[in-house]
Amino acid sequence: MESAIVRMSDITKSFNHVTVLKKVNFELYPGEVHALLGENGAGKSTLMKILRGIYQPDSGEIRIQEKVVHLNTTSDALNNGVAMVFQEFSQVPTLTVAQNIFLTREFRSKLNLLDDHQCEVRAKEIFDDMGVDIDPKQLLSNLSTGYRQLTEIAKALSQNARILILDEPTASLTETETQALFNLIRRLKKNGISIIYISHRMEEIFKISDRITILRDGQKIVTEDAKNLNIQQVIEHIIGQKKQESKEIPVSRDEKDQQVLLEINHLECERGVHDVSLKLHCGEVLGIAGLMGNGQSELMQAIFGMNPIRAGEILIREKIVKITDPAMSMKAGIAMIPEDRRNKGLILMHTIRENIMMPMIKLNRLPRRKFFIDEKKGSQVVNHYVKRLNIRCDSIYKQVGLLSGGNQQKVVIAKWLSTNPDILLMDEPTVGVDIGAKQEIIDIMRALAKEGKGVIFITSELKEMLSVCNRIMIIQNGHITRELKNSEIQSEERLNQILQGA
């Protein structure tokens, strides 16, 4: 038997009497990239948190370099060379990038003073190695989600990891950044670092991984060389049945026949939006495509009252509306699923039910009995979306903070869908959700459009954009530079070329 760098055997773990990992075996070999796949709630993060010393297994054994280890704390794991980039960030926005990377491990000067300069120099070296251009001196709060993700990776690398766990590292990266990350992974691999790679993006898994392990309901289904599997087989292992591809291709309807639902004229905003004009018609899904940080999220935030408008106007059904905060936007029939869902979308201490019902209650959309809201109706709506998006939970009264990362994302999505908005703004709604839910979200967008509503969609997965948008607007440095009908774009590659400015 080849000697493994990690050998986890018969790992079992329960939370409050619910077993989430059942006798899982997992091996990692030196210098391999091993993809760990499965639906939201399958147990991927839990298995990795056990390897990172955050959780302890109820039973089973862990060997590192074939020696039995007891990873009772995170320092035990670090001492054994295990580092992890988490699905949920644990960063401090008010500190600089360098300070975040070296948090609790700061360099000290001879007088034991904090040596920020040393941290910055070291951070710069790591970024140079990674081939990314981030100024270590700037505040973390200035960075977009994608760049924060890269900072997290730099942090793991600064810990001299031999075993690097990446829990959905590309979730908020663009194509180009993903490429940069893959180059980095290949470089690390050459240096003998072993990588465990968790992702819900099927295409990329085959580009980067040597082997694939699939979990379903806390059990290991298969471990296999990537070259012996294809996407279809992987999906079948993940969901446990054959997947139905939906084949509908969006067509641009004749705009003359369509009522204008939302019109934006010469919008100028505090952040990242310059002289933007656009129209969204009833029954349309409009894509806003651009490289990360070109103003697409800022534009959406402006429509939702989260990016102050300096000049220009917004009209809904031909009437000028003044939007200065999200409440006004919601009243005007707009809902937004934000990109940064964990921070902007949920109260982690509250239950699934409370979280989903929040906007419905605010908007007075739930029937009332005398002065009280109709609790039964509320539960019905919640149950409908829990089922539709397949939110993995034993009850709708479960605390949201205890759900897996992807299931939390689904709760935010459910929360806004349940308000039944006229205009839905979706910023990367499929990030972090499993293959089944991705399809469901696409189907929901189509259904809303069919009902005559309008959707504005941002995604870095160009395939998704092409599968659902009638029209696509290209945004660059906050300006709309081009508008394309879906039928005018032949392929994903072509759209990517357009984005790259080719």
Instruction: List interacting residues with Mg ion (CB under 5 A).
Output: 45, 87, 404-405
Asked if 198 and 48 count as a contact pair (C-beta separation under 8 A), the reply is yes
What number of other Cβ atoms are within 10 A of residue 246's Cβ? 12
Report d(CA 344, CA 322) in Å as an integer: 23
Q: Of residues 149, 294, 404, 419, which one binds ligand ATP by CB under 6 A?
A: 404
Q: Which among ligand ATP, Mg ion, none contacts residue 402 (Cβ within 5 to 8 A by kind)? A: ligand ATP
Of the candidates 359, 417, 346, the residue with the CA atom closest to the CA atom of residue 388: 417
DSSP designation for 206: H
Beta strands in 284-435 (DSSP E): 284-289, 309-316, 319-321, 334-337, 368-369, 372-373, 423-427
Of the candidates 477, 65, 491, the residue with the CA atom closest to the CA atom of residue 296: 477
From the CB of 18, what's the least distance to ligand ATP, in Å?
A: 7
Q: Does 396 bind ligand ATP (CB under 6 A)?
A: no
From the CB of 89, what's the least distance to ligand ATP, in Å?
A: 14
Q: Does 43 bind ligand ATP (CB under 6 A)?
A: yes
Report d(CA 470, CA 472) in Å as an integer: 7
Of the candidates 475, 132, 166, the residue with the CA atom closest to the CA atom of residue 292: 475
Residues in CB range of 204: below 8 A, 6 or more apart: 170, 178, 182
Q: Of residues 41, 146, 287, 338, which one binds ligand ATP by CB under 6 A?
A: 41
Q: Does 402 bind ligand ATP (CB under 6 A)?
A: yes
Q: Which is nearer to ligand ATP, 16 or 112 (CB)?
A: 16
Q: Does 351 bind ligand ATP (CB under 6 A)?
A: no
Q: Does 46 bind ligand ATP (CB under 6 A)?
A: yes
Q: Which is nearer to ligand ATP, 15 or 397 (CB)?
A: 15
Q: Of residues 238, 403, 442, 456, which one binds ligand ATP by CB under 6 A?
A: 403
Residues paired with 454 in a beta bridge: 284, 423
Report d(CA 293, CA 477) in Å as an integer: 8
Q: Does 20 bind ligand ATP (CB under 6 A)?
A: yes
Q: Does 211 bind ligand ATP (CB under 6 A)?
A: no
Q: Which is nearer to ligand ATP, 46 or 419 (CB)?
A: 46
Q: Of residues 406, 421, 454, 478, which one binds ligand ATP by CB under 6 A?
A: 406
Q: Of residues 15, 327, 375, 488, which one binds ligand ATP by CB under 6 A?
A: 15
Q: Which among Mg ion, ligand ATP, none contacts residue 239 (Cβ within 5 to 8 A by kind)? A: none
Q: Which amino acid is located at 481 in the chain?
A: T
Residues from 87 through 106 that contact ligand ATP (CB under 6 A):
87
Residues that bind ligand ATP (CB under 6 A): 15, 20, 38, 40-46, 87, 392, 402-407
